[in-house]
Amino acid sequence: MKPLLIKNGRVVDPAAGLDARRDLLIEDGRLAALDTRIERPDADVFDAANLVVAPGFIDLHVHLREPGKEAAETVSSGTAAAAAGGFTAVAAMPNTQPVNDSALVTRFILAQAARGPVRVYPVGAVTKGTAGEELAEIESMREAGIRAVSDDGRPVWNSRLLRRALEYCLALDLPLVDHCEDPHLAAGGVMHEGEWSLRLGLRGIPALAEELPVLRDTLLAKLTGARLHLAHLSTRGALEFVRRAKQDGVRVTCEVTPHHFTLTDEACRDFDARAKMNPPLRTADDVAALVEGLADGAVDAIATDHAPHSETEKQTDFESAPFGVIGLETALALALEKLYHTQKISLLRLVELFSTNPARILGVEGGRLAVGAPADITIFDPERRWTYRAAEGASQSHNSPFDGWTLRGAPVATLVAGRFAFRQ
């Protein structure tokens, strides 16, 4: 393969504190050189003038649905959507059918992913079947290649079991990713509990249903010393508990989704099931708190919680529809629009949230532009205006609340190990 020379780009690499015009040379799938001016007559040239060149984005929270729900998404379609969204790697949540709670399922997912355009980091279940009762085979899954454990979709509600799992995670250097939801406080709820749920006559999920388990989890992380990562936080109170735990030296990180920092519970007003997800869309005050946290470091990562559902499943009334929205192909644009173009965060911070920190949380290579390392690179145009059409996206499912939105900023090319996984 010919070398590839990416010229004239604005290279943003938080790990190196770099935000400047640079050229990059990619050879044999690796980053061979990074300099102010590189000349290589034998190389293919990619002109990145007016574009941002960043270490590859890693989505910590994706549901690829395979095995079991191939009508909604497959490893192949989900990773294609990831590439189109500027992601070079995704962490695949274990709530498939069967659940990824054994080395066998982990190996199957990795085998499917070997043919896909981006890297897949399987997340193993904490408990068998994510049923919350018995520990899953965490050590065997670790040997097979999982990069984190989670019962996502459900909390690990038994505190004793969570403690045991954290003890394993400490020894195996795996993060435990918890979905914070008190099942009793949240029971039967379909949207945020507040004025809108009351108005619409829909059962509410109070903010406290998320906040109480955040507090519990951080205390257990402190007790065990293990690494805790909190999925899709959505309330001001949840972030407050994370801030306190971080000040207290607890090894805790957290992520926020683009839909939670963009929309409020008012989006449910027409009973549109595309606004139904768990955790639910919260209030304007919560959105403001999430944006603050994304800016000041309380939040470590932006993750999509990409949750595909087939039209058949989602084309029903609000109460009956399943929770979840897709997000891989709109995440970068929403972050640029809602965080960068509003001057809440810099491009350095944006890349930190999409790449540097996710790599660190998963403990994987990447998240930086290191000479000699595999060339996983995201190139995007922070200015390009485009209209998102869910039906034309790479994901097999179309359940997005942003369908038809005109957005500012878009991925232009996604390189995984030096190859174009996506090119606009």
202 vs 379, beta carbon nearer other proteins: 202
The residues, ordered by sequence, that sit 6+ positions from 240 with a Cβ below 8 Å of its Cβ are none
Enter the tokens of residue 294.
């994304």
In terms of Cα–Cα distance, which of 92, 158, 173 is closest to 125?
A: 92
Active-site annotation holder among 305, 317, 381, 403: 305
Q: In whole angstroms, how close is the CB of 320 to other proteins at the nearest point?
A: 6
Enter the tokens of residue 408.
């500012």
Distance CA 18, CA 15 (A): 8
Q: Which residues bind other proteins (CB under 8 A)?
A: 187-188, 194-195, 198-203, 270-271, 273, 312, 315-320
The residues, ordered by sequence, that sit 6+ positions from 81 with a Cβ below 8 Å of its Cβ are 73, 306, 326, 328, 329, 393, 394, 395
312 vs 343, beta carbon nearer other proteins: 312
Q: In whole angstroms, how close is the CB of 204 to other proteins at the nearest point?
A: 9
The residues, ordered by sequence, that sit 6+ positions from 150 with a Cβ below 8 Å of its Cβ are 93, 94, 123, 124, 125, 126, 176, 177, 178, 179, 231
Residue 311 zone, left/alpha/beta (φ > 0; ψ -120 to 50; rest): alpha
292 vs 319, beta carbon nearer other proteins: 319
Q: In whole angstroms, how close is the CB of 325 to other proteins at the nearest point?
A: 17
Sign of CA dihedral 77, 83, 84, 85: positive
269 vs 423, beta carbon nearer other proteins: 269
Helix axes 159-172, 208-224, angle to 10 degrees: 50
115 vs 184, beta carbon nearer other proteins: 184
- In which residue are the tokens 């034998």 written? 42
List the beta strands (DSSP E) in 321-403: 377-387
Active site annotation includes 28: no
Distance CA 102, CA 245 (A): 32
111 vs 198, beta carbon nearer other proteins: 198
Q: In whole angstroms, how close is the CB of 390 to other proteins at the nearest point?
A: 16
Q: In whole angstroms, how close is the CB of 407 to other proteins at the nearest point?
A: 24
Q: In whole angstroms, how close is the CB of 272 to other proteins at the nearest point?
A: 8
Enter the tokens of residue 378.
């995201």
Active-site annotation, residues: 305
